[in-house]
Amino acid sequence: MSRRGLPLLLSAAMITALLAGCASKENNGQEEPSAGGSSSSPESSAAAPSPSEEKPTEITIMLPLNVAETPPDTIKKELEKLTNTKLTYQFFPADTYEEKLASTLATGSLPDVTYLKNQATFVQMKGAIRDGQFWEIGPYLSEFPNLSKLKPQILDNTKVDGKLYSLYIGRPLARQGLIYRKDWADKLNLKAPETVDEVVAMAKAFTENDPDGNGQPDTIGLTDRNDLIYGAFKTLASWLGTPNNWGEKDGQLQPEFMFPQYVAAMDIMKEIRDAKAMNQDFAATSKTDSVNLLTSGKAGLYIGSMQDIDSLNKDLIKNVPTAVLDTQALIKGPDGKATTWAIPGYNNVLLFPKSAIKDEAELKKVLAFFDKMMTPEVANLMYWGIEGTHYTVVDGKAKVSDDKDLVEREVKGYKDSVIGEAETNGMYESYNTLEGRIHAEEFIIENEKIAIHDPTTALDSETFTERGQELQTLITDATYQYIYGNLDKAGFDKAVEEWKSRGGDKIIEEFNAAYKQ
């Protein structure tokens, strides 16, 4: 990452300029991926037999790739057979996906189906949506029995001005928690932390007390990365009761960084860093490098999605066969209450560009593909892979093959694109044998009961859409600078005042007006 400590998001100004400059281009919406992307084109593989006499629907799909290598056509070929389609998947690395998305949008060459990357990217795309560049799909969902099963509340969370343009990739509301080296904790006679203070104490102990027993000062407690949301900071802040993006204070909605709990979270992160109980350059550390600190045996704490424990454990035991990971959540703040933050039920959405899909008939053919994706047979193929190769069914659940590398290489790219969730698409739940993952699934259920929701999820602020991410860089940078000790409380407050004067006050006003309607 080239910019110190900032999330890999284009500034709102840049994206707004791109949105303003793009126009619908009269072509088929397909493009060849540039360096760094790859295409799995139907012409490169044998034609799949059609399950009907109808001509296969040709669909081009652009989506982010969260693994190092583009998956082979193993899953795609089976998918084409089941859905009577010819599919072209354009995979682009997730780390640079926003840039690719913006440039493709600017040239009017988005393909038939365009996955975004996350909620922040979706916010930035709202200008193009309002500009009429994507199909409104809400009126058509009732024609598709499986798409009609998508959860209304989550669909509402993705609406723009009350209209539905997207399908969502469902996720549990609150997966965040702590993954830690239980073998280190046992060696140092530490129990699973139940409070934020105990998390800090464990980080320090893992740094100072030679948990790996090699007599060298070569371990750290917490490993973190350049992401204040999906890294450690937001989860730790939520344990302290910090609002989720926005909260109510003095009778109106205000951003999270104007609450004392946010400052308390910065103080705790600063305490951990000052004690050298975490990687000192975390604001410039990629997720890959952060993960490597844990899987190499150097770090003992990871705060993020507890479901990451499977992949972390797989790589860790290659390097440290005796290592044991476990999960922990329901961490209490100073007031004795356990709280955590929640996503709005999805982690990504997909859109249907009018530049690629020319008319209603074409749109319905593409929607029919996603309707088939929401059948158990297709959802299981895309999420779990091929039965007998990538997974087996045990007690009515999917047990992933022991060959985790094969599953990640062939399935992961497609898994991240499955719409809905098990309750709506009928796919198998996970059969888990790793004790830490079993605990994680139990914690995820309990997390939902204490989850802090974002009150602005379904609200709109024109200024936030146009300038929110640009202004957020002020707060992001100030937060890192505070944790690094380069900024005091007065300096942070000055950054907040600058945020307010450059458009933040207008954002507060607009969100509150929408909130009161």
Same domain, yes or no: 197 and 318: yes
80-123 pLDDT, tens digit per residue, is 999 999 999 999 999 889 999 999 999 999 999 999 998 889 98
Spatial separation of the C-alpha atoms in residues 105 and 374, rounded to whole Å = 28
Domain count, the chain: 2
461-505 pLDDT, tens digit per residue, is 999 988 998 999 999 999 999 999 999 999 999 999 999 999 999
Give the per-residue pLDDT at 308.
95
Under the banding of pLDDT at 50, 70 and 90, the label for residue 320 is very high
The answer to whether 414 and 76 are in contact (CB under 8 A) is yes
Residue 473 belongs to a domain: no
Name the one residue in this structure whose structure tokens are 């997974």: 391
List the single range of 60-64, 124-128, 141-145, 360-364 with lowest mean pLDDT. Answer: 124-128
Give the per-residue pLDDT at 345.
92
Give the per-residue pLDDT at 54.
87
Same domain, yes or no: 381 and 411: yes
241-274 pLDDT, tens digit per residue, is 999 999 999 899 999 999 999 999 999 999 999 9
For residue 102, give the DSSP letter. Answer: H
383-421 pLDDT, tens digit per residue, is 999 999 999 999 999 999 999 899 999 999 999 999 999
Whether this prediction's pTM lies above 0.85 is answered by no
Same domain, yes or no: 114 and 256: no
Average pLDDT, rounded, for the chain: 90
Residue 149 belongs to a domain: yes
Residue 109 belongs to a domain: yes
Give the per-residue pLDDT at 123.
85
- CA 445 → CA 231, 448, 457, distances in Å? 21, 6, 21
Amino acid identity of residue 278, one-letter, is: M
Residue 388 belongs to a domain: yes
Under the banding of pLDDT at 50, 70 and 90, the label for residue 67 is confident
- CA 475 → CA 14, 120, 255, distances in Å? 18, 15, 11
Phi, psi of 460 (to 5 degrees): -125, 140
The answer to whether 84 and 90 are in contact (CB under 8 A) is no
Domain that holds residue 409: 57-171+345-421
Token output for 138: 């809400």
Same domain, yes or no: 87 and 180: no
What CATH number does residue 137 fall under? 3.40.190.10
Q: Which residues of 312-341 are buried (b: 16+ CB within 10 A; e: fewer)?
A: bbbbbeeeeeebbbbbbbbbbbeeeebbbb
Residue 9 belongs to a domain: no
Residue 319 belongs to a domain: yes
Same domain, yes or no: 205 and 302: yes
The answer to whether 429 and 380 are in contact (CB under 8 A) is no
Same domain, yes or no: 374 and 327: no
